[in-house]
Amino acid sequence: MFHERTKHLEIDCHFVRNKIQEGVLGLLSISSKEQLADFFTKVLPPPSFVPFISKLGMIYIYHAPACRGMSK
C-alpha cells in the first residue's frame, strides 16, 4: 500500500520493473568498495576515502602536488 504522497514512487517502481522485464534496463551489483554513494553517506578511513576523491575529479589537498611557478 502506498500513501497518496508516495503514489509517484509506486508509478516509478512499476515503470522501472517493467523496463527491467522488457530488457531495456539491467541491474548491476556493485561492491561496497566501489559504491560512490558511500563517499557522501559514510565516514570512511583515508585508504577508502582517497580513491573516491579521484573518481569525483577532486584534489586531495593533503597530498596534492606542489604548484609550479609559485614563489614564496
CA gap 9, 12 in Å, rounded: 5
**Which one is predicted more confidently, 45 or 9?**
45
* 24 pLDDT above the threshold of 80: yes
Average pLDDT, the chain: 76
What does the pLDDT look like over 34-62, one tens digit per residue? Answer: 888 877 888 878 777 778 787 888 876 77
With contact defined as beta carbons under 8 Å apart, do 38 and 44 qualify? yes
Name the residue with cell 576523491: 53
